[in-house]
Structure 1
Amino acid sequence: MAAQDAPILIVGGGIGGLAAARALALTGRRVHVLEQGRAFGEIGAGIQLSPNVFRMFERLGIEDAIRADAVFVDDIRFMDSLTGEAVMKVPLKQPFEARFGKPYAVTHRGDLHTTLLKSCQELDDRIVLETEAKVTGYTDQGDRVTVRLADGTAREGRALIGADGLWSKIRAQMLNDGPPRVSGHIAYRAVLPYDQVPENVRWDSACLWAGPKTHLVHYPLRRKELFNMVAVFHSDRYVEGWDLTGDRDELMQRFEGVDPRPASLLSRITDWRYWVLCDREPVRDWFQGNVALLGDAAHPMLQYFAQGACMATEDALCLADFLEQAGDDFPRAFEAYRDARYLRTARVQLMARLLGEIYHAADVRADLRNHVLGMRTPEQSYEGLAWLYDGP
């Protein structure tokens, strides 16, 4: 195959990889996505979608499908889990949408991924989707890139995008910067049938209960058929993985003493899954030659800003835009993409760490947090998020 006829290779079939595949295919380019799993799919449940990513969905032509599955919650609530105090409420309906031009919603991660997958399958003349393709390394030959698979075979393309997540093999070869940074926080996740949720917390909200070294997030999913919960606490446990069996007794012990409302929610779950929260220090080195990183492979972040998938989707559109401008001069396009993205994503990475400290504050720090947040008007909250929600 002549180099100019080869596809752009994407390693990783998650949200970022599929968004990049569709964005590139919409510009007429051929793409080959390599997914190591037996099928394309997403682990996890709830995900929050802010206005900046809805603009990306619109450009990808999938906004209507995303909206059909999403729940458009009334507000974001910040609660003190020890006192039960309602610290802050940020309305998300008309005033919010008037300010940002797009909504705030919550959805099931699997629904979002399925929508992206279907949108790529619709472009099967330009996108090849391959499963059980575990990439172990690559060689950039200047006019083409070859990736090596665990089964001994290889795939060849014009360029390579590493969208293979926190434990990226592409990043490891490119940067050799070791394992991710372990935050010391563990996240437990579960879903509850909506009709089993106590009425005193059955809120149409994205709600966060903050406490010393703990917090709980909950909101409705799937047309209010499910109720999503994520409970986070500090721990020195470390296991590499994203879908491990949680210890209910340990969880309940960590949240001992919280308000009866979050306590009643936690007590109703018997089957928890958990993962260890990790990120990395922000870096500039997102590309070398014809190889670039995208999403968590480039800028893994803690979940506290709810922006991981949003940033990956922004990356995808930005990269496609610069390839159009550069006429497939991949090193030039990848450098421009990096320059346009790394400060914005670094800000989110570092702000997410800071939010973790704010959420988990204790004693006087918690009192100060509640005092400062409690004085904010909705308009002040909107403007404080404008740098993020107004988009790149």
Structure 2
Amino acid sequence: MTQLHVETLIAGGGIGGLATALAIARTGKPVHLVERAPAFGEIGAGLQIGPNATRALDKLGLLDDVLKTAVIPSRGVIFDAVTGEKLTTLDFGDKFLKHYGHPYIVTHRKDLLDVLLAACRAEANITLSNNRALAKVHEEEDRIVVEFQDGDVWTCDVIIGADGIKSTVRSLIDHEQPVFTGHVAYRGTVPTGQVADFINQEDVALWIGPGVHLMQYPVRSGELYNQVAVIESARYAEGRDDWGTAQEMTEMFAGMCEPVRRSVSMINAERGTPVSDREPAETWSSNRAVLIGDAAHAMLQYLGQGACQALEDALSLADNLDRAEKDHVQGFKAYEDDRMERASRCQRAARPWGALWHTADPTTVALRNRYFKLRAPDDYSETDWLYSATTDEASTKGHPNEAGKLYHV
């Protein structure tokens, strides 16, 4: 059994954990990060990164490296998945860049992780450890005790839970578990040549239909085409055990238009990934533990903000701990004051947005489609609350509970 004491321990080596390690280390504090997997990697394929998150990457000095393999799409386009009709576009071009100051990009998750990992390995204040799966964590008055699954026991002054939706660190703070929503996601990439004859590869394409949607965009400098098909599982709703299979995905998309059916047939996934959600938490911290990312605010994917909000968390937590100097409790609370309202708003906003994509009600579909068709491609008023540089700007734009305010393509 190995015993070790570290000042700041980060549990979780995903995008949020590595970004937090880097941000804290650059304030002069030593950080030790542990990852349960044998190697650093990301589950999934594509990732949408809005201007709020490219701004965070820029502040970390990493945006140029990320852009070496990322794609800056020309626009986002929403289609009716049943009829194939184009409903609306959001221009990501020069006016968008001037408006927000940073681009909207799409990238492969591993490509972003590799950039973060290289930056962390180059930082003298960061120590990285793999094969470190947490079994239990205990909070004492003057320390955190961490028991690993291999029997090792470490202690630390503070622990940062970046360990995802099934967080072990969260047990020190909040015992409410995320709830499976009945939504199932199927992910995959294909060489872009396989879709070149029927897909505009310069766009982020979103196809919306009853109980389903399909998101598509290029990654890895345009070499691969990422697809995410999501269903509201009818089998799960019926209480069946055979939900989330490839067969159910095919069945749910059977009534959609030919380009959607053809695209979905290229997703090689025997079983989909359950999508979970939770109510916003009352706190993300205890005296010696604090949460970031999905561990703090798991949300549905309909705003494309999971990783983006984790990047915002990383900068905020590092900045507030630095300002608080040795008073980490004050730093935790300042971080919560800075971030909780915004992240909770994203959690709540994703729900009606997803419901609007998946509605089967004919009247709602007609009104939704009519609204989409009326908006201009360069009208950014409904995304300002999410993408603008300051919280002051965000607080005056839109509202997450207004069904007519449609947030993200």
- What is the rounded CA distance, in whole Å, between the counterparts of 1:246 and 1:357 in structure 2? 19
1:14-53, aligned counterparts within 5 Å? 14-53=14-53
Asked if the contact 1:184/1:237 (under 8 Å) is kept, the reply is no
Counterpart position of 2:162 = 163
1:283-362, aligned counterparts within 5 Å? 283-362=281-360
Asked if the contact 1:190/1:273 (under 8 Å) is kept, the reply is no
- Structure 2 CA distance for partners of 1:82 and 1:160, relative to 1, 3 Å: same
Show structure 2 runs of 5+ residues with no match.
237-242, 392-409
Counterpart position of 1:187 = 185
- What is the rounded CA distance, in whole Å, between the counterparts of 2:356 and 2:275 in structure 1? 16
What is the aligned-residue identity percentage? 40
Moved more, 209-218 or 139-148: 139-148
Letter in 2 for 1:361: T
Query: TM-score, normalised to structure 2's length?
Result: 0.89
- Deviation string 1:47-93 (CA, Å, 9 cap, x unpaired) is 00111111111111111111111001000000001111100011101
Letter in 2 for 1:116: L
1:235-250, aligned counterparts within 5 Å? 235=233, 247-250=245-248
Counterpart position of 2:141 = 142
Shift of 1:274: 2.1
Asked if the contact 1:246/1:271 (under 8 Å) is kept, the reply is no
Letter in 2 for 1:23: A
Counterpart position of 1:128 = 127
**1:38 is paired with a residue of what secondary structure?**
coil
**2:181 is paired with a residue of what secondary structure?**
strand
Shift of 1:290: 1.4
Give structure 1 regions of 4+ aligned residues with deviation exceeding 6 angstroms: none
Aligned Cα RMSD in Å? 1.6
2:369 equivalent to 1:370: yes
Counterpart position of 1:242 = none
Shift of 1:332: 0.7
Counterpart position of 2:397 = none
1:92-131, aligned counterparts within 5 Å? 92-123=92-123, 125-131=124-130
- What is the rounded CA distance, in whole Å, between the counterparts of 1:183 and 1:269 in structure 2? 22
**2:28 is paired with a residue of what secondary structure?**
coil
Letter in 2 for 1:181: V
2:13 equivalent to 1:13: yes
Asked if the contact 1:282/1:349 (under 8 Å) is kept, the reply is yes
Counterpart position of 2:206 = 208
- What is the rounded CA distance, in whole Å, between the counterparts of 2:33 and 2:275 in structure 1? 27
Shift of 1:38: 0.9
Asked if the contact 2:172/2:289 (under 8 Å) is kept, the reply is no
Asked if the contact 2:246/2:271 (under 8 Å) is kept, the reply is no
Asked if the contact 2:209/2:357 (under 8 Å) is kept, the reply is yes
- What is the rounded CA distance, in whole Å, between the counterparts of 1:271 and 1:354 in structure 2? 27
Letter in 2 for 1:248: A
Counterpart position of 2:398 = none
- Deviation string 1:179-215 (CA, Å, 9 cap, x unpaired) is 3111111011111111111422133111100000001
Counterpart position of 1:254 = 252
Equivalenced residue count is 379
- Structure 2 CA distance for partners of 1:198 and 1:6, relative to 1, 3 Å: closer
Counterpart position of 1:59 = 59
